[in-house]
Chains A and B, each alone.
Chain A
Amino acid sequence: MSVAKSDENFVWTGLAIAHDLEEGLAKELFATLQLVFGVPNSYSEILAKGLANLTEWAANRGLLAATAFPSAIRNAHAHHDFEVDGGRVTLAVLKPPQDGPLVLSSEGFVDAILKVFEATIAMWLGTTLVMTRVGEPPRLSSLSQGIPMEEAIGTLMSAGGWVDLEVRNAGTAVSITAAADRDPLLAEFAGLVPSIPSQIVRIDARMTGPSGIFDLQVPLGPMRRYQQASDEWSTVALAILHARIVVNGSAFLSREYVRKVIAIEAMTMGAQPAYKDAMHDLRELRTRCQELEDSELDAGIAHLQAIRRNGALGLTTKEPELGVLGVWAAASVATSAEVAVLSGGVLT
């Protein structure tokens, strides 16, 4: 390990991780056991009892998991009740139990923290397994419980950045944890798409990279359409894909830039000499752009279709106004990063 295990910050981080797991996911899992067992209390009442009560209940039923959550670790974090001396960590110094403070070697301390993590994920797996099998999967409440686990491994194993990935659709969901940065991960997603069954429609990922923690949503439909697009349509497909990729709740590519790209493409298509080709391509463009749910863009393309149709029928005598598409095409909205993306930096 690269972390100095005797370092007080390291101990504090380890205690915080264990404390969060014990007071969070582990407690809820024990409460779930009680509820399923038939303890005559509401869920909130059971949770209010505290973990010590819950683990005692579990220990009385011979559950091994109950032994993994020593109160000394919880209290050490909650009351800052610990000392670090060289290679030893002493817990419960301020309020020692009858048999005295708990003295651990640095290896023993890491072991105790990892044991909390181990028991928690084992309880999660067992519970999820049964719940899923009986037809009621556990609900996603928040991602907050996932972070300590990643921190736990990341800190204790010094494994660098981590990503928690979920592939979800109505029938299949999977989650894995691994290390990655954003752009390489996107490229990896792109490489994986052909091997992912078509019923899976989106990949949700949470990752910790050099720029911190961020959430990423990659819709696989636009990804597939981009990968299958002909050269003629690849720019449009890529723009739509990037508009649909969401990073921390925001589109990966700004709406203004997507509009600019589509507007330029639309005007190029509309300017084709052959009327039938122009109308065909504009119709196809409108269809493709429907997934952007951008009514102004839709109206702009429709306007372009009308101009071309009127021109073909000889209904106009002066130079037609291009409308919003002309404005968007001329707008200066691109950033160098976005240009790099569209020139194939990420997904090709």
Chain B
Amino acid sequence: MSTRFSLSFSQIECRCGGARIVGQICTYCGATPSVTEVDPGKQLRQRAVSQVCSIDFDGAEPLLLELTEIPEVLHRALDQLLTVSAQLAQGAGSGPQLEAAFRDIARLHSTIESFRYRPSIGISGRYLEAVAQIERSGVAVLDALCAETPIAAQRSGRVMQEAIDSATAAVDSAMALVAIRRELDSSDASLLSWVASAVSRLAPDQALSQGYLDFDGVGASILKARINEECPMGLGLSVAFFEFLAQMCLDEGEFWQVVREQVTFLESRHAQGGSSAGRHPVEGPLGSHGDLSLGSEQPCPSPVVSREVGRELCLDWTGNCS
């Protein structure tokens, strides 16, 4: 659906003979407008906008909705905003209608906030992004409605379109997660369907020329994009699947923040590897004694990644790496 906005700006004939927008400086002769000049259409729009701007929508009462109903309500709220704004632009519509449209968006925002729980946090987070973009488009609409010149209105129109496009992308992203979640929830989900879902999510255009091992490269790219770190060979697959898991049921932002802080913390000790603070004799359940240090400058050529760290992580720490 597309909505057409037609903002009218009255013109009068300037004393220089050129056409001039009411209330604006003449672009031909630079003559300033008279204080008595009024554009009734613009005045109507500006009154409606000021009415909306005087209201604080924070803490709006949430709607009684299920998470699955959000996309439809989002679209409805956007349509309502655009329709009312278009009517106002043409001199119809009213301030209270515009206010109602903004209030519905604010209530929708509160509603989606109430869904910000794992495992739905990835989906609700994307819906929140969508509603935030709709709010941004609303602000752009208000700017357009009370713009002094057609050029300023067009500029706001571009911002509005960008925000709507971003909102659509966020909803699409959320819907893709919903679809994958539904697929994985099916009882006959197999290993290959997991892999297929992960591929479609993480590397939509990638052909699996090497099967699972392609994910090593995908994971390396993800790690680079997420925390700007190089991925050791073999760890990429874990990275890719954790990313998939984080998108599906965890808080991606917090997950990667914790990964980054671990890396930063440990590497800061790595940088001090020669200091006495980073080296301590340790012992473990196998009775081994070693010297724990992250001071190695010669990475092992054949890193083996396993799922376990902790106590045994500290064992066998001497030898080729200390």
Contacts and interface: CB of A to CB of B under 8 A. Distances in A.
B129 interface: no
B306 A166 contact: yes
A241 B255 CA distance: 41
A158 B258 contact: no
B299 interface: yes
A125 B307 CA distance: 9
Contact of A157 (B185, B283, B316): B185
B121 A111 contact: yes
Interface string B186-201: 0101111111000000
A156 interface: yes
B231 A129 contact: yes
Nearest to A107: B117
A114 B237 CA distance: 22
Interface string B178-213: 000000110101111111000000000000111111
Given A43-B311, A118-B254, A132-B303, A126 B192 contact: no
B217 to A, nearest CB: 12
A129 B235 contact: yes
Interface in B213-268: 213, 215-216, 223, 229-239, 241-242, 245-246, 248-251, 254-263, 265-267
B41 interface: no
A138 B118 contact: no
B174 to A, nearest CB: 17
Nearest to A152: B249
A226 B300 CA distance: 34
Contact of B277 (A27, A37, A153, A192): A37
A64 B303 CA distance: 28
B269 A43 contact: no
Given A38-B277, A110-B119, A132-B235, A153 B245 contact: yes
B261 to A, nearest CB: 6
Contact of B192 (A135, A156, A175, A188): A188
Given A118-B118, A125-B259, A174-B305, A159 B237 contact: no
Given A130-B266, A195-B213, A28 B245 contact: no
Main DSSP-derived SS at the A contact region: helix
B254 A38 contact: no
B258 A122 contact: yes
A264 interface: no
B321 interface: yes
Contacts of B98: none
B176 to A, nearest CB: 17
Given A35-B282, A135-B321, A196 B211 contact: yes
A313 interface: no
A334 B235 CA distance: 42
A332 interface: no
A124 B223 CA distance: 14
Interface residues of B, number: 93
B189 A159 contact: yes
B249 A131 contact: no
A142 B308 contact: yes
B204 to A, nearest CB: 19
Contacts of A180: 190-191
B39 interface: no
Q: For chain A, give the interface size range.
A: 35 or more
Contacts of B118: 110-111, 114-115, 118
Contacts of B279: 38
B248 to A, nearest CB: 8
A86 interface: no
B317 interface: yes
Interface in A2-37: 2, 24-25, 27-29, 31-33, 35-37
Nearest to A160: B187
B178 to A, nearest CB: 14
A128 B235 contact: yes
A240 B294 CA distance: 44
B314 interface: yes
B283 A192 contact: no
A174 B234 CA distance: 5
Contacts of B305: 128, 132, 137-138, 173-175
Contacts of B190: 178-180, 184, 188
Contact of A192 (B212, B296, B315): B212
A274 interface: no
A121 interface: yes
A194 to B, nearest CB: 8
A336 B209 CA distance: 38
7 contacts: A39-B280, A40-B280, A61-B265, A64-B254, A108-B117, A129-B231, A130-B262
Given A188-B192, A196-B213, 8 more contacts: A32-B309, A42-B283, A117-B250, A122-B258, A136-B296, A153-B249, A173-B305, A196-B210
Q: Top 8 nearest A-B pairs by Cβ distance?
A: A126-B262, A28-B310, A38-B277, A135-B300, A174-B237, A122-B258, A139-B312, A178-B194
Interface of B: 117-119, 121, 184-185, 187, 189-195, 208-213, 215-216, 223, 229-239, 241-242, 245-246, 248-251, 254-263, 265-267, 269-270, 275-284, 292, 294-296, 298-317, 320-321
